[in-house]
Each structure stands twice: as structure tokens, then as C-alpha cells.
Amino acid sequence: MKRVAIAVSRFNEKITSALLAGCLKTFKAEGWKDSQLKVVQVPGGYELPWTVSELARSGRYDAVVALGCVLKGRTRQNEYISASLVRSLHEISVASRVPVILGVLTPDTWAQALARTKGGLDRGREAALAALEMVALKEELRGKA
């Protein structure tokens, strides 16, 4: 049975919970059951890489989706967190050989973040679709399809 883990940040929870809802709705629309999806919540975006690494290395998941929102503030902290987060998730994906899907928003404003949680810009939905595609590609490339 295929399984996907979703690690979601609680920081900027209004945004991240909407991303999670879009992601889960998409998996369910594609016929996935709750037993195939594991949702893990973490305090913030900076905690996502460690959690994603643990999930990917567990051998229990065909892909891991990382959901979060790092908003621009008055300082450059968001730049440091975003750069570290993206680099770390990429390295985890390559090292673990488990597709890691980047569903972390890095908008300048709250309005931009909110806009990316619904309609044609629903990044939670996009993350789920990317995970589904990568799970299928992983099976094909490893001769399981």
C-alpha cells in the first residue's frame, strides 16, 4: 500500500491549515484513504527539515510533503529560514531517495499567502498532485509499475 507523510508547520496556522486542507482534499479526491496519509505537525518552518528527514528515512513513506509559510517580516530572518529550509529539503530528498515535495510558501504579504491557499493558486493541492506524480514516477523508475 502506498503511503505519504505530510509535515506541516503550525506557524502562520491560518495559512498552513488551509494548505493542509487543500492537500488532504486532493489526496482523498484521488482515492487515497486516511490510513495512507500521516500528518505530523511541527512548531515552525525551521523544524520541518528534521521532521521530513525522520519521515523519509523511516522507510514507511513513498513521498513526504512539507507544508509551511515563511512570511517576509521587518528583518531578514525569513530569508535565512527560507534558504536553509529549501536547501535542506532538497538534500533530504536526494540523500534519502524519497521524493520530498516543497509546499512551503515564502510570500511578501499575508494577502499573497492567503491567495495561495484557494482556487487556481492552491499550493496545498499542487503539493499533493506533485506527490502523486512523484510516487508514480518512483515506482516506474524502480520497475514496480
For residue 55, what are the CA distances in angstroms to 31, 39, 60, 70, 137? 22, 10, 8, 21, 19
Which own/partner pairs from 82-85 qualify as long-range (CB within 8 Å, at least 24 positions apart)?
82/45, 82/106, 84/46, 84/49, 85/45, 85/46, 85/48, 85/49
pLDDT in tens, 27-68: 999 999 999 999 999 999 889 999 999 999 999 999 999 999
SS3 for 120? helix
Q: Which CATH superfamily is domain 4-141 in?
A: Lumazine/riboflavin synthase (3.40.50.960)
Residue 73 has what pLDDT?
A: 65
Q: Distance between CA 84 and CA 37 in Å, rounded? A: 26
pLDDT tens per residue, range 64-114: 999 999 878 676 777 777 788 999 999 999 999 999 999 999 888 899 999
Tell me, what's the pLDDT at 144?
A: 67
- Does residue 23 contact residue 63 with C-beta atoms inside 8 Å? no
- At residue 59, the pLDDT reads 94
**Does the predicted model carry a pTM greater than 0.85?**
yes
